[in-house]
Each structure stands twice: as C-alpha cells, then as structure tokens.
Amino acid sequence: LLAKADRQLQDLDLAGAELRKILDRYADDLAVLARKWAPKDPATAARAARRILEIRPGDKDATALLAKVGGSAKGPASWLSQR
C-alpha cells in the first residue's frame, strides 16, 4: 500500500512538472505577444501581462510591461474568471 501511494505521488510530481513546463511556455508566448503589441494595442498587451501574472504572480517583466502600457494588475479579462 505504501509503495502504491509512493508511485502515485511520483506520478503527480511528474504531471505537475509537465504542467509547469506548459504554463511557462504559455507565459513566455504571452510575453512575446505583449511586447509585440504594446506600441499598437496597449489594451491587448495589458491583458496578456495580466494573464502572465495569473500564471506567475509577481513576475517582474510582466509587472514592468503592465506599468509601461498603463495597465494595472487588476483589470478585465482574467482567463480564469471568463469561464
């Protein structure tokens, strides 16, 4: 029973690591999008930066980008709240 529980925990750790990789890649892609659109569409850039902060709370680059485009950490379009 203990061995089975240990295997399950290891599987969860592996799944968690894979999920972290996916979320990190998503946040990196959002950062690219935000930097690209910041001059032309600050609202889209702010929305992307807010999503990064949902994934990586306190992310310095996202916070700086959000300040640059005049957005705040509290704003519309949370992908979690839209569901």
User: Which tokens is 69 given?
Assistant: 């485009």
Crossing angle of helices 42-55 and 60-68, in 10° steps, is 160
Q: SS3 letters for 2-50?
A: HHHHHHHHHHHHHHHHHHHHHHHHHHHHHHHHHHHHCCCCHHHHHHHHH
pLDDT in tens, 1-57: 888 888 888 888 888 899 999 999 999 999 999 999 999 999 999 999 999 999 999
**CA 52 – CA 54 distance, rounded (Å):** 5
**pTM tops 0.85:** no
pLDDT in tens, 57-82: 999 999 999 999 987 766 654 544 44
